[in-house]
Amino acid sequence: MPRLTMAQALVGFLKNQYVERDGTENSFFAGCFGIFGHGNLAGIGQALQQMPDFRYYQSRNEQAQVHIATGYAKMKNRLQTFACTSSIGPGATNMLTGAATATVNRLPVLLLPGDIFARRNVAPVLQQLESEHAQDISVNDCFKPVSRYWDRISRPEQLLTSLPEAMRVLTSPAETGAVTLALPQDVQTEAYAYPDAFFAKRVWRIPRNRPDQGALREAARWIRASKRPLIVAGGGVIYSAATDTLVRFVERSGIPVGETMAGKGSLAYDHPLSLGAIGATGTLAANQIARDADLVIGIGTRYSDFTTASMTGFQDPKVRFVNINVAGFDAAKHAALGLVGDARVTLDELAEILGDFQVEPSYRQHAAQLHAEWDREVERIYAVRLAPLPSQGELIGAVNELGDPRGVMVCAAGSLPGDLHKLWRARHPKQYQLEYGFSCMGFEIAGGLGAKMAEPDREVYVLVGDGSYLMMSSEVVTSLQEGYKLTIVLIDNAGFKSIGALSRSLGQAGFGTRYVYPKDGALPGDDAESTTLPVDLAANAASLGARVIPCHTYADFADALQTARGVECTTVIYIKSDRLDGVPGYDSWWDVPVAEVSESPTVTEARRDWAAHRARERYFF
Ligand SMILES: Cc1ncc(C[n+]2csc(CCOP(=O)(O)OP(=O)(O)O)c2C)c(N)n1
Ligand SMILES: [Mg+2]
């Protein structure tokens, strides 16, 4: 029975947690990221120093460290992640956005914010938010809605019951997300005689649960009865490592596949049954098939509004849904026949019952033809050579074609995700790493670092806009400190191309979306003079220690991609791109409500347009 501080026991426990799936075992935590302050230095900080075999990594921003862990867990198909420690107060609340990002995306991260003294007598301590009506409230209570499990460790022995629960949730495919254990500063340092057994190696089996057999047979009947079935492949396909199974399933049945943001890469882009991206940022191929589908088989998808084109994507009056999902919550969506189970084993069992069922040859051919037409559209956009500033589509094409084909592309927010969803040609299931559950500006570089740490042998291309870069570029420094090379493609359009376009579509003329000086006491939009603010992001990146390759033209950019492959440290390829030229939408819509009354005729016009689209939104019962 070793006498250990609570923090020492915590670290001692974490380093002995393993997971196993399909016979492969690995430690669940790759280490601990953290920024020290008085709320964690003497507790967790001391424990990490004493136990160097649980590697400590320093980050620059507590939000970023959670993004690193999230990017890592995503790349690892949720089988491994990091713990993240912070001080109390602002260090802790900085992690909130990271926690929400992880939870929305169903990715495991363990957060260990320091907390106010359990002993209380010295309160208010530095950075403590006091409450007049309760003494057990701190800013860490804000983590409750963004965590899948939350606890405060007010006595050292509470770890004995809390940590196994934390692990159960983190390793549960259905429940995983951010887990938060708030650690009062004093309790972290208090000793207790923890039982030896608590530190024994523990292996958490990641189950491949099978669905209800009756539901499975019913699903097979629905599929056999359908004429125009469509698979919507979500992130669950990839996390379950079900991509090979999916290929076999669609080749045998002839059912075409549309992919969500998290599911892109489920089927290689050049498979004839791949319709590519589906929904608001979808391809013409996927959106046309979706519009007429009489059966939608959702696999591992949450059906976000981007996937359903704000509930306008599926227009067949009799369309129905079969949802394969580890989470009953998602399986039940859209009045579906739910197959609550692991994607891989469920697809295998479904294939067995379906036997040699196939869609009509004409339907398979129709899908293949739409696939080929879409491929030509991508080709067209890749080949645009816009002047004087290149288009975003051609830059995406360059990264896709000239970057390492084994590489990984990471992105999260701005106009890039929509363009990438349509245009990126995913050659392997882990190539397209989009954080689009929370679409959190600032995720890109930090999440990219996580992806690189998970797969150091792959080139990682972080695609980031100026807005996201300005929000969080700090982890360039961490990538240099730890020797993980990122190739960061920084696309500068002096503002928010995405929200600018949205603003114009809502009749608001780009108000507040550009980096320009105020005029007549207000920030202008599209009517601004062209002088933008004197911001030099290339110089900024160089000042952080990155190798920077400034580019002006497509040719420069293509050269830079080649050069970057030979560079060993984090490299920023900087280029300005046209802010108005955009990739079109393809029979899709996204519901962003427009002001019902306004003094602007363009807003009134946009409202009419919105109302017409809104009428196509559906409920499924
Ligand atoms: C943290 C956060 N704040 C606000 C938003 C809303 N938003 C989405 S895209 C965007 C602008 C992104 O600008 P930039 O990174 O330059 O990309 P661009 O739109 O120019 O391609 C904003 C403000 C967001 N997604 N995340
Ligand atoms: Mg921008």
Whether the CA torsion 269, 79, 70, 485 is positive or negative: it is negative
What's 42's DSSP letter?
I
Q: Which residue from 104, 441, 466 has its CB within 8 A of the most atoms of ligand 1, so it is best to mutate?
A: 441
Q: Check if the beta carbon of residue 452 is closer than 8 Å to that of residue 479.
A: yes
Q: Is the CB of 416 under 6 A from ligand 1?
A: yes
Backbone φ and ψ for 489, nearest 5 degrees, come out as -100, 110
Question: Mean per-residue pLDDT for 171-175?
Answer: 98
Q: Does residue 286 have a pLDDT over 90?
A: yes
Query: In the chain, what percentage of residues exceed pLDDT 70?
Result: 100
Amino acid at residue number 446 = A
Q: Is the CB of 500 under 6 A from ligand 1?
A: no
Which SS3 state, helix, strand or coil, does residue 211 take? coil
pLDDT at 531: 77
Ligand 1 geometric centre to CA of 468 (Å) = 6
> Against a cut of 0.95, is the pTM above it?
yes
Ligand 2 geometric centre to CA of 37 (Å) = 34
Q: For residues 512 and 524, give the distance between their C-alpha atoms in angstroms, rounded to a whole number.
A: 7
Q: Does residue 152 have a pLDDT over 80?
A: yes
Question: Mean per-residue pLDDT for 45-49?
Answer: 98
pLDDT at 27: 98
pLDDT at 529: 74
Q: For residues 572 and 489, give the distance between their C-alpha atoms in angstroms, rounded to a whole number.
A: 6
Work out the burial of residue 203: count CB atoms within 10 Å of its CB; fewer than 13 is exposed, 13-18 middle, 19 or more buried.
middle
Alpha carbon distance, N-terminus to C-terminus of the chain: 58
Q: For residues 516 and 497, give the distance between their C-alpha atoms in angstroms, rounded to a whole number.
A: 14
Q: Does residue 17 have a pLDDT over 80?
A: yes
Ligand 1 geometric centre to CA of 570 (Å) = 23
Which SS3 state, helix, strand or coil, does residue 133 take? coil
Using one digit for the tens of pLDDT, what is the confidence trace for 119-133?
999 999 999 999 999
Beta bridge partners of 573: 489, 549
Q: Does residue 69 have a pLDDT over 80?
A: yes
**Residue nearest ligand 1's atom 2 by CA:** 441
Question: Mean per-residue pLDDT for 586-605?
Answer: 96
Atom of ligand 1 nearest to the CA of 392: 21
Q: Does residue 116 have a pLDDT over 80?
A: yes
Q: Is the CB of 395 under 6 A from ligand 1?
A: no
* Cα distances (Å, whole numbers) of residue 456 to 13, 223, 473, 538: 27, 42, 20, 25
Residues 6+ apart with CB under 8 A from 448: 71, 410, 433, 460, 461, 462, 486, 488
**Residue nearest ligand 1's atom 1 by CA:** 441
Question: Mean per-residue pLDDT for 363-383?
Answer: 98
Residues 6+ apart with CB under 8 A from 549: 560, 563, 564, 571, 572, 573, 574
Tokens of 298: 């959702």
- For the ranges 168-177, 338-347, 499-508, 520-529, the lowest mean pLDDT is seen at 520-529
Band of the pLDDT at 2, cuts 50, 70, 90? Answer: confident
Using one digit for the tens of pLDDT, what is the confidence trace for 95-110?
999 999 999 999 999 9
Q: Does residue 253 have a pLDDT over 80?
A: yes
Atom of ligand 1 nearest to the CA of 465: 15
Using one digit for the tens of pLDDT, what is the confidence trace for 475-504?
999 999 999 999 999 999 999 999 999 999
Q: Is the CB of 30 under 6 A from ligand 1?
A: no
Ligand 2 geometric centre to CA of 469 (Å) = 9
Q: For residues 413 and 34, give the distance between their C-alpha atoms in angstroms, rounded to a whole number.
A: 25
For residue 124, say if its preceding peptide bond is cis, omega within 30 degrees of 0. yes
Q: Does residue 532 have a pLDDT over 90?
A: no
Atom of ligand 1 nearest to the CA of 466: 16
Using one digit for the tens of pLDDT, what is the confidence trace for 325-346?
999 999 999 999 999 999 999 9
Looking up tokens 């911001």 gives 535
Using one digit for the tens of pLDDT, what is the confidence trace for 409-464?
999 999 999 999 999 999 999 999 999 999 999 999 999 999 999 999 999 999 99
Ligand 2 geometric centre to CA of 539 (Å) = 17
